Amino acid sequence: MTQFKHINIADTSQHLAEGSAKICDIRDETSFKNGHIEGAFHLTNQSMAQLINEVDFDQKVIVVCYHGHSSQGAAQYLISQGYEDVYSLDGGFTEWAKVQPYVTAK
């Protein structure tokens, strides 16, 4: 069985700049609204079908949580659903927010 991979903030930023990856944020709704990576898809149990409809199985997917732990289980789940190139962001949104820009709800 294929395994998810780990990815650091710098490589994630590069993939986003190139448009070569989709960010999936699995944090709770309030946290997501308070701040998330620009263009992130808020992945929940309720939005999984939407993700499958919108994101091709061969597209690079980077899963983000708070600290980079919960995203590992979610990344492996996406692999089990048929996604081929899935990553867990090391350090999660907490580390991202220290060094990279993000958006908040207006």
Looking at the predicted structure, is the pLDDT value of residue 83 above 70?
A: yes
Structural domain 5-99, CATH architecture = 3-Layer(aba) Sandwich (3.40)
For 75, other C-beta atoms within 10 Å of its C-beta total 26
Q: pTM of the predicted model, to two decimals?
A: 0.95
Catalytic residue flag (residue 65) = yes
Contact of 25 with 43, CB cutoff 8 Å: yes
Q: Where are the alpha helices (DSSP H) in the chain?
A: 9-18, 29-34, 48-54, 70-80, 92-99
Distance CA 100, CA 4 (A): 23
Please tell me which residue in 65, 78, 86, 89 is annotated as part of the active site: 65
Identify the H or E element spanning 88: strand 85-89
Summarize pLDDT for 32-59 with one digit per residue, the tens: 999 999 999 999 999 999 999 999 999 9
